[in-house]
Structure 1
Amino acid sequence: MANHQKDLFRRTDGRCLIWGKKPKVIECSYTSADGQKHHSKLLVSGFWGVARHFNYTGDLMGSLAYCLACGGGHLLPYFYIIYMTILLTHRCLRDEHRCANKYGRDWERYSTSVPYRLLPGVF
């Protein structure tokens, strides 16, 4: 659903409803490698208002569900959720670094509006 919300927002240029309301956005700008200035919008509604990388949270929940379906008789299946947690946490931090460099102060405003990266209330 998080990816669907972002896709809907992009396809309609923000002229849509997210959780029954007009989406909140942060208008931002950045300069590409060729020196051209571009404008963009960062979604601050729906799942994207809960955490900046909530799509990864869904992936982690799915991974945990696969592990839990194996029961508690053996530790081996739980290496999957450990692997996914490391992978997606690292990816999240790389994304944060890239976006901070790309958007600058606009990313700071976005991070203030959506304080959690992956797990609301935790990280």
Structure 2
Amino acid sequence: MKLSEGQKLWWVPQHRLGMKGREVTVLKVGRKWAELDNGERIDLETLISDVGRYAPNGRCYLSQEAYKQAEALVQAWIKLKRDLQYGRIPEDVTIGDIELARLLLGMTSNAKLPKERLNTEGE
């Protein structure tokens, strides 16, 4: 990831008890770390703060909108996991549907899916 001095990022604290995200500015960019105006330094690849051996204090996103999109993805994933864990198998779901879902979610590289549901145009 290419960051530059003066660039604005969106900082989100790890433990959000009463704390909200806020805009921060990159003060200095090194080979591995970028120093921020909030006293943190972040990894250039992950944008996660560095605090030694302990859990990170937070992380940055390229914008507040990027953070909102990432958070929406996490919430959608949590909802899907909950629905799968506590839901029943719908009557019309096939093994092919399940394998296709796994393939779409990157959970398998198996390209040999049952053909019964792969061509759903015209249904």
Whether TM-score is above 0.5 comes out as no
TM range (shorter): under 0.3
In terms of Rg, which structure is larger?
Answer: 2
Q: TM-score, normalised by structure 2?
A: 0.27
Greater helix fraction, Structure 1 or Structure 2: 1
Larger RCO: 1 or 2 (CA < 8 Å, sep 6+):
1
Q: TM-score, normalised by structure 1?
A: 0.27
